[in-house]
Amino acid sequence: MQKWLYRFFIELTNHRLSSALLRKFSQSRVSAILIPSYAKIYNINQAEMEKNLSDFVTLHDLFVRQLKIDSRRIDSNENTVISPVDAVIEETGMITTNKEMIVKNKHYSIQEMLGDEDSLAKYIGGTFVILYLSPSHYHRIHSPISGVIKKQWELGLKSYPVNRLGLKYGKDPLSKNYRKITEIRANNSYVAVVKVGAMFVNSIETTHRSDIVKKGEEIAYFSFGSTVILLFEKDRFTISPEISSSINIKMGEVLGTLN
């Protein structure tokens, strides 16, 4: 019954009109009136922001804020994989031979998530890391490794929430939501960066234009909190022992190493 009520409410409110209205409002000057309360409610760290709170013209500008240059340290070791975002580590695990990852006891199809058989084959038996961005987090996405962008594509139309209720009751949001996927090759290893849209605001903007990317370089941003999923090939990634579910991580901190 709870699942049915949850899905009914989401379907009732999650359509193009409400998404368009929310996007229009957040990008209007009228939305600036909410900036002080938003910053207070979500405990935004203003000391690390590139601009002062009073300099943001719209609420959207605050969502996509940039940070001071020295506010994040990018680990420079050659084989390390860094977190591409500020986030909570929602889950880590193995991609099964059934082409699935298991999150909160639900099975998510990697095949459906990627929608590409050639890319899918590389990740069977590999590792996944799910990073959840709340509304309080810095929303820009950076490359977890240095390498060559081999492919980028997008899938899905609308989105369910990707918070804990969304993962529990939603219609497989990690594999069905609107998403943009970037596949990066570092030497002989591939990493898929799956950027998953959030409810109402499906905006995932790509900012990196070159095929070559450096670790820590910005590649995209979310217009609202959402989720990034990293997929690694079998036997090519070792997760750091201190990484576990529910811990907070900052962009630039080490997730593990490429083997």
- State pLDDT tens for residues 127-144: 999 999 988 899 999 999
Alpha-carbon distance 203 to 19, whole Å? 10
Catalytic one of 26, 86, 143, 208: 86
Question: What confidence tier does 207 reach under pLDDT thresholds 50, 70, 90?
Answer: very high
pTM of the entire predicted model: 0.88
- Verify whether residue 142 is a known catalytic residue: yes
The catalytically annotated residue of 31, 142, 143, 175 is: 142
Annotation marks residue 134 as catalytic: no
Residue 242, number of CB atoms within 10 A of its CB: 9
State which amino acid sits at residue 7: R
> Does the pLDDT value for residue 235 go beyond 80?
yes
Burial class of residue 157 in the structure, from the number of CB atoms within 10 Å of its CB (0-12 exposed, 13-18 middle, 19+ buried): exposed
- Confirm whether 61 is a catalytic residue: no
Q: What pLDDT sits at residue 168?
A: 59
Contact yes or no for 123/97 (Cβ under 8 A): no
